[in-house]
Chain A
Amino acid sequence: MKSEILRLQNVTKVSSGVTLLDQFNMMVYKGEIMGLLPLNTHGISAFLDVICQNTPISSGCIYFNEKEKNYPGYITESPNKVYVIEKTSSLAGNLTVSDNIFVLRKGFKKYYISNKVLKAQTKILAEETGIHIDPGEYVDRLSPLQCCVVELLKGMAGGAKLFVLNELASFLSSVALSQFHKILLHYKEKGYSFIYIGSHHEDVFKICDRAALMKNGRIIKVLDKKEFLYEKLMPYILDYHLATPSNFIKGKSPLLEFDNVTTENLNSLSFTMLPGECVVLLDMNNTVIGDILMLMNGQKQPHSGSIMFDGRKFETRDGRKALQKGIAFIEENPTKTMLFTQMSYLDNLCFLVDKRDKGIKLTPKIKKSIEKEYYSLCGPDIQAVDITRLSAKSLYNLVYYRIHLHNPKLVILIQPFSGADMYLRKHLVSLIDSLKKRGMAVLILAVNIADNLAVANRLIIVQKGKNIREYRQEVFRSIDPHDFLVGQNA
């Protein structure tokens, strides 16, 4: 007989007139990994709030261990023993692992702290996970996988029986994710329960026992493990994979060439890119992205090997003038990091246009002309003064159309689909495609395969800093994304 850890029954939460959760139904059993596949981001934070903090709900009821914990008119206002592990860590970076696990724990009342005892206890806990963690190490120095394990142990030490794992694939590499999955399975057997939130069904299906599809704050379908098939999902999801034909020119001389490039994390990395080609560089260990970025923006130079760009050797000084040399970057979550909220849409769009290779002076007349030209693409949003009121889709348009204006030869995208819901991912595919159509080469640096194959002409697998395998677009259909999610083939 199954034991119920959490049940949300017909939970509706309305805030400022917006229905965040709409008759939300979900139950999680003891020793179960329950997947949650949000088709859009609507209601996710409200869901986390109600299960973690018992925030007021408008109707329905929430049960923990089969006991009523929250219903309208009755609020305990005490947080539940639910621990959330997500990209933004809740650990204190300048404290040691053992301090984070035990000292920061709620209810820790010891006046004298014996580091020796704490370290010994931490060591026992860490050994059970099979991941080497030094109890005396500062959290700042840990890898993302180690941080996740420490958070897991911290939650357990605090008495949590239910863990929410929010978008692990967006910050753990394929290899790390595979290792963490093994740890989850171990603790699942010990009776701990998990809610595994993931935007990609490949990721969720790999580890979960059941999965719930969520749309507009409502659960629209619950799938059993036996139903973990793409066909079962088809009526609910948008199919935009492999929609892009190859439109780069084969036989041309390479635009970008890495020849046995070695740095701290790159190990004789070699690859080439043709003009107009889209290459996905899948970093299985989540170590090389930083090095490649620093090489390309002039913050680092290779220990050995060389980089050729547009037929010339790429030097550190070229990297410092990347935009003039025809290289643009789009960071992860660019709407948060690449836009200026105090500037208007048009000013954001024209940002750094005058720093291009053949720079133009941004006179009001030119700005007016840009506005006219891009009105057809951006719509009335181009006239917006306050960009904070715009939708995520419009902000992504702004980031990508700015790149159109810069018209570089190469665009480097870092995890372009990170944090985007299904509808936004479909839009991003069309935006990346628009870059390709304008003849730009696109290099995508990613730690998971996600939707990258939808736009790629070539996939390069990088493990331990080395190019270990390449796939051309023609064979993408034969690739099983699971292999890269867990790094089995690598």
Chain B
Amino acid sequence: MKSFRFLLTRIRVFVLLLIILCAALLFVIFISATARPELFTAFLLGGGLLILIIAGLYQFVHKPYKGTSRLLKLFAQGYTMERVYDMPNPISPEITDAFNRFKELVNTTELINLSVKQSQYLALQNQINPHFLYNTLEGIRGEALSAGVTSIAQMTEALSTFFRYTISNVDRLVTLEEELENIENYCIIQQYRFGDRLSLSVEVDDEDTDWILNCRMPKLTLQPIVENSIYHGLEPKLGKGNLKIKVESTKSRLIITVSDDGLGFEEERLSILNNALNGISVDYVKPDSEKKGGIALINVNSRIKLLFGEEYGLYIYSSPGAGTDVQITLPILTENVNIN
């Protein structure tokens, strides 16, 4: 009777006993009714009442409890986080209070800060002294221009702009236009390495281009995904590689798809990655996380989910030899917000 330690099991047993008792009483009334017909009405009323009580128990207790139980199971399995704080039928006020306390303890702001700190840490790896870096790059650019080597000057300029964007104000929202400019800049740098092998195209919904480009999103959302596509999809691929960024919007969501026609993921790997993207994870902050692939995607996904909620984030479509599409879903935000 290990399960008897749970109150629910005890409630079930006692309710069952109560129903059996009522049924037995009814049976006795029924037997008596054969001798005294005036008791037959009492039997019918009692029977009807018992059926009503059982139906009520099923409709108003059992079914909502099943829903709540399923929600708690999903929480335990890591599928959902936010929904347990807002259960349609909580078990008791104390449990609701307990969950609210739990919510305070695991305040998502802490996780957001952790995520931002991770981004800042990555930026710091290259930072050391940004002014020294910018000055040096400007110096190289000047030397290149005076020597008439414009290609080096252009590359240095792109690199300098890229560093400036990457390092500064990681904790603010930027416009989609700024993010796309950074990607174009990043691709200019990559093209010095890949030459004609790499091409980038950006497709924005024709109807509302200006409005869409003004939508806000966390800084450095696109660059890690593009970098991932280049290094894991296009670099190992023989021949030309194409990168496409497609932007669509609905009334409430901004949908950005980063597609490459590279090697693609194996089905098993894709499934693991999509499962990881389905929840919130801060595993990538752990020291051994570098051993795993797709860190950048999980990082971006976790940041989006923590900032905006579980319904936003990343999803990957991929097939070996067919390329990869990373779909990013964000809420429509037109005002700047400090994400700290």
Interface residues of A (CB under 8 A from B): 1-4, 9-10, 22-23, 25, 29, 56, 58-59, 61, 66, 71-75, 219-222, 224, 235-236
Contact A1 B250 (CB under 8 A): yes
CA distance A10 to B87 in the complex (A): 20
Contact A73 B67 (CB under 8 A): yes
Chain B neighbourhood of A59, CB < 8 A = 74, 79-80, 278
CA distance A1 to B210 in the complex (A): 12
Is B268 close to A, CB under 8 A?
no
Contact A72 B70 (CB under 8 A): yes
Chain B neighbourhood of A23, CB < 8 A = 274-275, 278, 315
Contact A222 B317 (CB under 8 A): yes
Q: Using known A-B contacts A73-B74, A75-B67, determine if residue A235 contacts B250 with beta carbons closer than 8 Å.
A: no
CA distance A419 to B322 in the complex (A): 27
Interface residues of B (CB under 8 A from A): 67-68, 70-71, 74, 79-80, 83, 87-88, 205, 207-208, 211, 246, 248-253, 264, 271, 274-275, 278, 311, 315, 317-322, 325, 327
In the complex, 28 of the A-B residue pairs with CB atoms within 8 angstroms, ordered by the A residue number, are: A1-B249, A1-B250, A1-B251, A4-B253, A10-B278, A23-B275, A23-B315, A25-B327, A56-B70, A58-B74, A59-B79, A59-B80, A59-B278, A72-B79, A72-B80, A73-B67, A73-B70, A220-B318, A221-B322, A222-B317, A222-B325, A224-B246, A235-B264, A235-B319, A235-B321, A235-B322, A236-B319, A236-B322
Contact B250 A3 (CB under 8 A): yes
CA distance A270 to B119 in the complex (A): 75
Closest residue of chain A to B87, judged by CB?
Answer: A73
Contact A2 B80 (CB under 8 A): no
CA distance A479 to B67 in the complex (A): 55
Give 20 new A-B contacts, CB below 8 A, not counting A23-B315, A59-B79, A72-B74.
A9-B311, A10-B315, A23-B275, A25-B315, A56-B70, A58-B74, A59-B74, A72-B70, A73-B74, A73-B83, A73-B87, A73-B88, A75-B67, A220-B319, A221-B319, A224-B246, A235-B264, A235-B319, A235-B322, A236-B319
A-B pairs, 8 with minimum CB distance: A73-B71, A235-B322, A73-B67, A59-B79, A4-B250, A235-B321, A73-B70, A72-B70
CA distance A73 to B246 in the complex (A): 35
Contact B317 A66 (CB under 8 A): no
Chain B neighbourhood of A58, CB < 8 A = 74
Shortest distance in angstroms between A111's beta carbon and chain B's nearest beta carbon? Answer: 31
Partner of B251, one of A3, A10, A74, A235: A3
CA distance A59 to B87 in the complex (A): 15
Closest residue of chain B to A22, judged by CB?
Answer: B271
Chain A neighbourhood of B80, CB < 8 A = 59, 72
Partner of B88, one of A22, A74, A235: A74
Chain B neighbourhood of A3, CB < 8 A = 250-251
CA distance A75 to B207 in the complex (A): 36
Partner of A66, one of B71, B250, B319: B250
Secondary structure call for the A interface: strand
Contact B325 A221 (CB under 8 A): yes
Chain A neighbourhood of B278, CB < 8 A = 10, 23, 59
Chain A neighbourhood of B321, CB < 8 A = 235
Partner of A2, one of B83, B87, B248, B325: B248
Chain A neighbourhood of B246, CB < 8 A = 224
Chain A neighbourhood of B311, CB < 8 A = 9, 61
Shortest distance in angstroms between B70's beta carbon and chain A's nearest beta carbon? Answer: 5
Shortest distance in angstroms between B89's beta carbon and chain A's nearest beta carbon? Answer: 9
Chain A neighbourhood of B317, CB < 8 A = 219-222
CA distance A224 to B257 in the complex (A): 12
Chain A neighbourhood of B320, CB < 8 A = 235
CA distance A2 to B252 in the complex (A): 10
CA distance A2 to B320 in the complex (A): 32
Chain A neighbourhood of B79, CB < 8 A = 59, 72
Closest residue of chain A to B246, judged by CB?
Answer: A224
CA distance A482 to B148 in the complex (A): 57
Q: Using known A-B contacts A59-B80, A235-B320, A235-B321, determine if residue A66 contacts B252 with beta carbons closer than 8 Å.
A: yes
Chain B neighbourhood of A4, CB < 8 A = 250-253
Shortest distance in angstroms between A189's beta carbon and chain B's nearest beta carbon? Answer: 16
Closest residue of chain B to A226, judged by CB?
Answer: B203
Shortest distance in angstroms between A37's beta carbon and chain B's nearest beta carbon? Answer: 13
Chain A neighbourhood of B327, CB < 8 A = 25
Chain B neighbourhood of A9, CB < 8 A = 311
Chain A neighbourhood of B74, CB < 8 A = 58-59, 72-73
Q: Using known A-B contacts A25-B315, A29-B250, determine if residue A71 contacts B83 with beta carbons closer than 8 Å.
A: yes
CA distance A72 to B322 in the complex (A): 33
Chain B neighbourhood of A61, CB < 8 A = 311
Shortest distance in angstroms between B328's beta carbon and chain A's nearest beta carbon? Answer: 13
CA distance A59 to B75 in the complex (A): 10
Chain B neighbourhood of A236, CB < 8 A = 319, 322
Shortest distance in angstroms between A58's beta carbon and chain B's nearest beta carbon? Answer: 8
Chain B neighbourhood of A29, CB < 8 A = 250
CA distance A72 to B88 in the complex (A): 11
CA distance A4 to B321 in the complex (A): 31
Chain A neighbourhood of B87, CB < 8 A = 73
Closest residue of chain B to A57, judged by CB?
Answer: B70
Closest residue of chain B to A68, judged by CB?
Answer: B311
Chain B neighbourhood of A74, CB < 8 A = 67, 71, 88
CA distance A221 to B319 in the complex (A): 8
Chain B neighbourhood of A2, CB < 8 A = 205, 248-250
Chain A neighbourhood of B315, CB < 8 A = 10, 23, 25
Chain B neighbourhood of A221, CB < 8 A = 317, 319, 322, 325
Shortest distance in angstroms between B266's beta carbon and chain A's nearest beta carbon? Answer: 13
